[in-house]
Amino acid sequence: MEIIHLSAECYPVAKVGGLGDVVGALPKYQNKLGHFSKVVMPAYNNPFMWESEFEVVYDAWVNLGRQGFPVRILREKTNKLGFDLYLVHIAGLTDRDKVYGYADDTERFLAYQIAALDWINQWEHRPDVIHCHDHHTGLVPFMTANCERYKSLNHIPTVLTIHNAQYQGQFGWDKLHYLPAFDLWKSGLLEWRNAINPLASAIKNAWRVTTVSPSYLNELSHRANGLESLLASERGKSSGILNGIDNEVWDPKTDVMLEKCYNTRTVDSGKKANKAALCAVFNLDPTKPLFTFIGRLVGEKGADLLPDIFHNALAHSRGNINILVLGSGDPVVEGKLSELNTWFAGNYNAYIGYNEKLSHQIYAGADFLLMPSRVEPCGLNQMYALRYGTIPIVRRVGGLRDTVVDIGDGGFGICHDQTSVWDVGQAMGRAYELYKDKKRMKEILRYTMQLDHSWDRAAQQYIDTYQM
Ligand SMILES: Nc1ncnc2c1ncn2[C@@H]1O[C@H](COP(=O)(O)OP(=O)(O)O[C@H]2O[C@H](CO)[C@@H](O)[C@H](O)[C@H]2O)[C@@H](O)[C@H]1O
């Protein structure tokens, strides 16, 4: 099959979070199954652009209403990602330093979707599936099905994967004229709560809808940031497919970002070396258990509670634990997490910002990874942690529920039921007790490192979904 993935992120081209990881891996694994999977995404002004070689495959203009923008679609020449990569460069819109966060994000992602379809529309053949990821590509199923200009694309199945239903990309009807012409009586297929809502529109128009874990699909019926009833009514065409992880990128045996590589046999010495290096950089004590949090500092991840959770844990443990945070997001939380350093230097540190290499080093060097998420569609961090022999401490929600089994139930992680300071504190206490039992820790680490969360299974499940 020929599969086109449309997404705002794709690792290593541009990654803000887990969406980038998924779109950077899934096509590679689909190709291994004998398919022809490619990614078409916006071209940003970032290092990948400057460091790669491209050829121009499309040179035209894209219109948003009466305003025109020059478009070039660039194909990465070396196939270094393991799949064909096409970058949609729209001068004045996509070519910014960051992926998101601009006042004209609506225009940027809409122009990208239209340009991508204009290009596909003039191919001599038709792809078998167009797979859209999150709301930035959510108007594609509507446009292929209903816009006069894309009539010849309207038989191509479209699939929407919801990585996060919190973000929906709504905008006002004053921008309706940006879309290529369609019969106005079909406007309801764009609408949710009196606005144009790209995520809702994709749920209505896509041939199939998937979520990134089975539990998240269930949870969306009662918690979907206003889309609950819509998701319930479209449940018949929806399924939950648990994300995988890219075992080639995330492998402690070969990871060049680590101080020392290790496998299940050498996990003790390997983790020890990585922990020592990490603790030296962050002024922590390598003889104490190291708890960590890696992620976006937003309410969904429970990040607002972290300052209190850490303050309590550090105060109660009387210097017997270490905590290291890597994250960025809400400036208030960032400020509070930085401030803790003045009180607990030597046992606590925080790196506020985004640092891919450091994240690998932390997965390798830490003992426990905290994920007190309020919402977690799948979560990749816990799977990276497991592969690197770091025990996840997670709230039982979404994909965390589907991937982590509590040690009390014969499993390998520590689970709690609520996102609260008390619950997480209790869970950290259980982790501390486990840490003291060196033999059990070792057994668990060896076991977790062998768990198979690779994309092989999920890549096939997506193919099955396309063919249903
Ligand atoms: N400051 C930082 N520095 C370096 N690396 C950082 C970082 N902050 C985050 N990361 C990295 O970003 C990724 C985060 O992935 P997640 O899947 O946990 O969350 P996210 O909410 O972004 O993704 C959404 O989409 C994914 C993919 O479907 C779902 O798993 C998830 O539940 C959903 O919320 C990991 O690779 C992590 O290491």
Atom of ligand 1 nearest to the CA of 15: 12
Closest CA to ligand 1's atom 36: 18
Q: Which string of DSSP letters, residue by residue, matches 126-168? A: --SEEEEESGGGTTHHHHHHH-GGGGGGTTS-EEEEES-TT--
Residues 25 and 143 in one domain: yes
- 284 pLDDT more than 90: yes
Average pLDDT over residues 266-287: 97
pTM for the structure as a whole: 0.96
Task: Output DSSP code: residue 181.
Answer: P
Q: Does residue 461 belong to any structural domain of this protein?
A: yes
Residue 380 CA, closest ligand 1 atom number: 17
Cross-strand pairs, 89: 72
Q: CA angle, 458 as apex, 417 and 226 as ends, to 5°?
A: 50
Angle at 245 between CA 160 and CA 307, to 5 degrees: 95
Amino acid, single-letter form, for residue 415: C
Q: For position 409, what pLDDT does the model report? A: 97
Q: What is the CA radius of gyration of the chain?
A: 23
Same domain (yes/no): 235, 289 = no
Give residues (CB < 6 A) around ligand 1.
17-19, 21-22, 163-164, 212, 243, 294-296, 326-328, 354-356, 359, 376-381, 399
- What is the rounded distance in angstroms from the CA atom of residue 246 to the CA atom of residue 236? 30
Report which ligand 1 atom has the smallest distance to the Cα of 376.
Answer: 32
Q: What's the CA-to-centroid distance between 22 and ligand 1, angstroms?
A: 10
Looking at residue 468, its pLDDT comes to 83
How many other C-beta atoms are found inside a 10 Å radius of the C-beta of residue 465? Answer: 20
Query: For residue 439, with 0-12 CB atoms within 10 Å meaning exposed, 13-18 middle and 19 or more buried, which class applies?
Result: exposed
**ipTM greater than 0.90:** yes
292 lies in a domain? Answer: yes
pLDDT tens for each residue of 351-400 = 999 999 999 999 999 999 999 999 999 999 999 999 999 999 999 999 99
Confidence of residue 127 (pLDDT cuts 50, 70, 90): very high
- Predicted pLDDT of residue 273: 98
Contact 303, 297 (CB under 8 A): yes
In a domain, 254, yes or no: no
Q: Quick check: is 249 in a domain?
A: no
Identify the CATH number of the domain in which residue 25 sits. 3.40.50.2000
Same domain assignment for residues 460 and 416:
no
In this prediction, residue 365 carries a pLDDT of 98
Portion of the chain with pLDDT greater than 90, in percent: 99
Query: Does any domain span residue 255?
Result: no
Whether 222 and 81 share a structural domain: yes
- Residue 252 placed within a domain: no
Residue 274 within a domain: yes
Task: Tell me: do 224 and 272 sit in the same domain.
Answer: no
Here the tokens at position 44 are 């940003």
> What does the DSSP assignment read for 19-57?
HHHHHHHHHHHHHHTT-EEEEEEEPPSSHHHHHS-EEEE
- Assess whether 383 and 308 both reside in one domain: yes
- Position 101 scores a pLDDT of 95
Among protein residues, the one whose CA lies closest to atom 15 of ligand 1? 18
Mean pLDDT over residues 266-270, rounded? 97
pLDDT in tens, 160-215: 999 999 999 999 999 999 999 999 999 999 999 999 999 999 999 999 999 999 99
- Which residues form the domain of 36? 2-244+456-467
Shared domain check, 309 and 199? no
250 found inside a domain: no
- Could you give the number of structural domains in the chain? 2
Rounded to the nearest angstrom, the distance between the alpha carbon of 17 and the centre of ligand 1 is 4
Which contacts qualify for 170-178: CB closer than 8 Å, 24 or more apart? Answer: 170/195, 170/196, 170/197, 170/198, 171/106, 171/195, 171/196, 172/196, 175/106, 175/107, 175/110, 177/65, 178/64, 178/65, 178/107, 178/110, 178/114
User: In terms of domains, do 137 and 202 share one?
Assistant: yes
- Give the pLDDT band of residue 429 (cuts 50, 70, 90): very high
Say whether both 230 and 293 belong to one domain. Answer: no
Q: What percent of the chain is modeled with pLDDT above 70?
A: 100
436 among annotated binding-site residues? no
Q: Give the closest residue (by CA) to ligand 1 atom 28.
A: 163
- Residue 296 pLDDT greater than 90, yes or no: yes
- Please indicate, yes or no, whether residues 444 and 395 belong to a single structural domain of this protein: yes
Is residue 227 located within the same domain as residue 287? no
210 and 71 within one domain: yes
